[in-house]
Structure 1
Amino acid sequence: MTAFDESERRVWAAQADAYAGSFAKLCEYPVPRLLEAAGIEPGMRVLDVGTGTGTAAKAACERGAKVTAVDAEASMIALAAQTAPEADVRLAALPDLPFGDDEFDAAVGNFVLNHVGRPRTALAELRRVTRPGGRIAVTIWAVPAAAGQALLGRALQAAGVSRPAHLPALDPGDDFPRTEQGFAALLSAAGLKDVACDTLLWDHRTTPEEWWSGPAAGVATIGHIIRSQPSDTIESIKAHFDSLCAEFVDSAGALVLPHAALMAHGRA
């Protein structure tokens, strides 16, 4: 396990409920496209890795698949088991999955590669547990971030807050360009065939209160950074957040945040 992996475990510990009430709704958007790209059909053995609240697992079960869902965080597993009761939900994490070679007909990972220290190794592990010819489909956030995704980071920057030194970044040797070409190359390097990558664009509709609730509770790296600040700095971040929200609030008072993700898929 890398220092990045260990940091991710600490950041996400016991955060399932706060995540479900904030960022989880955003992350649900790619799920239908992800399952289509993986070719999910009735009777297929499907692995949903990094299942989070279990949205993709539930959707795959609804398609008639036999789903195994795993996550590295125990609170997520508890919530996913409620969301997708028909799935076999287990505690496990990339890049060391407790499954045999060729055990699944398809595998999906919705944003999980954003949270692993060795993305190439993680993809190679997904290829190992997927039968030859089976499809693997994964998503990540695009870089540079879309305007809506950048909102919280802009609030931190305006308040003079930067990433703390104790939060390790991905090792440069394990990183890759977060572009269509860069993501597709990552899958090809992991041994996948017939690789393709698309950009998904959507407007996430929420409220300023809901969008602030996740990081205010410590959800994700940005939430961890906010929670680690003194109270006056948190107040400054929140004031800048409130001001910046004006750029995205529509006439009905909804916060409309443009987002962009990359979805790549290929065959094992």
Structure 2
Amino acid sequence: MSWAGTGEAFAASYAALCAGTGERLREIAGPARGRALLDVGAGDGTLAAAWADAGWRVTAAEPEPSMREVARARHPKLPIVSHALPHLPFDDGRFDAVTANFVLNHVPDPRAAATELRRVSRDLVIVTTWSAAPTALWREVTARAGLAPASPARLDPDRDFERTADGLRRMLTEAGWHPEVTELTWTWHVEPEALWQSVTGGVAGAGAFYATLADADRARFRTAFDDLTADRADGGRMPMTQTAAIAVEHVR
């Protein structure tokens, strides 16, 4: 799945959903006390900026140019670099804490990525992945539209992991971690047009699927989306309940 050019669409839509873990992650990390933090896969910089506001010395790493452009426009004081997993050009133990929010579910080699995150931390690593993700909504829209769903993109079996809390724990253990894994469930209330912007902007699997459709099928997809959101919107917003698995590694 390519994220090229999706910065604006992501910032207008799923950035707010992904930020739903932020408060819990900061609770886990504890008071900043001027500690250094690396946020890997920082996207539009929402979470990295929140860490900085909480007193951390933050470096945001984001390899996708359009994401960095949005992050720099929204958070001009935030240090942003283009480095990507699984090779980060930092010394061992360079940062007190390292975070990767909904990143390991997108990299080609999750175990190598997890190993690298641990290498550059001297104290704490926190990663998240989806246990229940927004893809369920788009599967239902696709079914309502009478369209054949796209086959989900999967990694090779020897690199993939089960997208559950237990699956995340097993994968990280194989990468040399001793993780503590919990789950967080919350409800995101989003305007339907923000969701639609994510699709037309090419964000994630739904955006990639929409890009392959002919004009007539795009019209059917939009009609199905409008019908579904009309059925479920509350006060003009869609309530979407999501669950994230959160893994914590104490390096020392």
Same fold by TM (over 0.5)?
A: yes
- Cα distance in 2, alignment partners of residues 197 and 191 from structure 1: 15
Contact 1:203 1:259 in 2 (8 A): yes
Decide whether the 8 Å contact of 1:217 with 1:227 is kept in 2: no
- Give % identity: 37
Does the alignment pair 1:253 with 2:242? no
Cross-structure match for 1:94: 85
Q: Please state whether the residue corresponding to 1:126 is helix, strand or coil.
A: helix
CA distance in 2, matches of 1:43, 1:82: 25
Q: Does 1:233 align with 2:214?
A: no
Question: Does residue 160 of the first structure (1) align with residue 144 of the second (2)?
Answer: no
1:215 corresponding residue in structure 2: 199
Name the SS of the counterpart of 1:205 in structure 2: strand
Paired with 1:176 and 1:58, the residues of 2 have a C-alpha distance of 30
Check if 1:242 corresponds to 2:226: yes
Contact 2:139–2:149, Cα closer than 8 Å, also in 1? no
| TM-score with structure 2 setting the length | 0.92
- What secondary structure does 1:261 align onto? strand
Worse-superposed segment, 24-33 or 75-84: 75-84
What CA RMSD, in Å, does the superposition of the two structures yield over aligned residues?
1.8
Deviations 1:30-56 (A, max 9, x none): 011122223451211110000001112
Residue of 100, 103, 107 corresponding to 2:94? 103
Partner Cα distance (1:119, 1:71) in 2: 17
What is the SS of the residue equivalent to 1:259?
A: strand
Counterpart of 1:187? 172
The alignment partner of 2:105 has SS state of: helix
Match of 2:126 in 1: 137
Contact 2:154–2:160 under 8 Å retained in 1 = no
Measure how far apart 1:254 and its partner are. Answer: 2.0
Structure 1 CA distance, aligned partners of 2:217 and 2:131?
Answer: 29
Q: Is the partner of 1:174 in helix, strand or coil?
A: coil
> Which residue of 2 is the match for residue 196 of structure 1?
180
Report the 3-state secondary structure (helix = DSSP H, G, I; strand = E; otherwise coil) of the residue aligned with 1:19.
helix
CA offset at residue 168 of structure 1?
A: 4.5
Q: Does 1:51 align with 2:42?
A: yes
Partner in structure 2 of residue 263 of structure 1: 246
**TM-score, structure 1 length as denominator?**
0.87
Task: Give aligned pairs, total.
Answer: 250
Q: Which letter maps to 1:172?
A: P
**How far does residue 116 in structure 1 lie from its aligned partner after superposition?**
0.3
Q: Is the 8 A contact 2:135 2:206 kept in 1?
A: no
Residue 77 of structure 1 aligns with which residue? 68
Q: How far apart are the structure 1 equivalents of 2:154 and 2:162?
A: 15
Q: Indicate how the Cα distance of structure 1 residues 172 and 157 shifts in structure 2: closer, same or farther if over 3 A, else same.
A: farther
Name the CA distance, whole Å, in 2 between partners of 1:42 and 1:161. Answer: 52
* 2: CA distance, partners of 1:117 / 1:192: 19
